[in-house]
């Protein structure tokens, strides 16, 4: 059983999508004011609500609401309770707009991925990146996480079943996963580098001989 459910928490500088549905169409339009924004090219792009340095968002009518440290479900409940004081049967939906993870190193498709369901673990992240190459070190995965401006780097052993209970098994927004190459690749790369001058010298010698014969 996986004990660590990895429920993500809202952090400062997160960007949230907050939608409201109620029995009042006028209220729905008013609370949807920050859903889209027209950019310089005339296209609509999602803007959302940014969590400021005080851990709050500025929401229409309600003003500033502190969401820092809450889960999405808790944030929805808090906003709903405030809205229902003035709007009947308000239903709030909160989503992360910046839940991205980056997987680099010895994987087949290194990239930055946007996570739609806001919940992803290390194994799923590796799957999105096409899994490790044959040179990837499963026993020494580096996870880089930044919280409140402080960067944390930890090593995770995917060969150990206890990783399922690790607080780092489930990823958080903006985590970076680095897969280190094993010694076999280092040796292969080193041997290739040693062979390169020999190969270049051989090619040069062949070229000289060919030129010599052609000029005769």
Nearest-angstrom CA–CA distance, 134 and 29: 53
Tens-place pLDDT, residues 149-168: 789 999 999 999 899 999 89
Give the whole-angstrom CA distance, residue 87 versus residue 85. Answer: 6
Mean pLDDT in residue range 30-52: 62
How does residue 200 score in pLDDT terms, banded at 50, 70 and 90? low
Give the residue-averaged pLDDT of 192-206.
55
CA quadruple 177, 125, 77, 27: dihedral positive or negative? positive
Q: Is the pTM of this model over 0.85?
A: no
Rounded distance between C-alpha atoms, residue 44 and residue 71, angstroms: 28
pLDDT in tens, 53-69: 999 999 988 899 999 99
More confident residue, 184 or 99: 99
């Amino acid at each position: 059983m996986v004990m660590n459910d990895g429920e993500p928490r809202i952090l400062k500088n997160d960007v949230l999508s907050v939608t409201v549905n109620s029995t009042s169409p006028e209220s729905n339009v008013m609370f949807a004011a920050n859903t889209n924004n027209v950019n310089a090219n005339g296209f609509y792009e999602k803007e959302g609500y940014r969590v400021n340095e005080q851990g709050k968002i500025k929401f229409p009518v309600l003003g500033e609401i502190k969401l820092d440290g809450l889960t999405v479900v808790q944030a929805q409940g808090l906003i709903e309770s405030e809205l229902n004081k003035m709007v009947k049967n308000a239903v709030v939906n909160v989503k992360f707009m910046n839940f991205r993870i980056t997987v680099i190193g010895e994987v087949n498709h290194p990239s930055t991925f946007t996570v739609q369901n806001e919940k992803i673990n290390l194994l799923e992240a590796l799957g999105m990146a096409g899994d490790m190459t044959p040179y990837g070190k499963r026993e020494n995965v580096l996870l880089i996480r930044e919280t409140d401006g402080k960067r944390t780097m930890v090593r995770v052993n995917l060969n150990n079943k206890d990783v399922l209970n690790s607080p780092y098994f489930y990823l958080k927004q903006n985590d970076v996963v680095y897969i280190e190459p094993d010694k076999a690749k280092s040796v292969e790369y080193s041997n290739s580098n040693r062979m390169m001058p020999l190969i270049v010298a051989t090619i040069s010698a062949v070229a000289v001989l060919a030129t010599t014969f052609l000029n005769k």
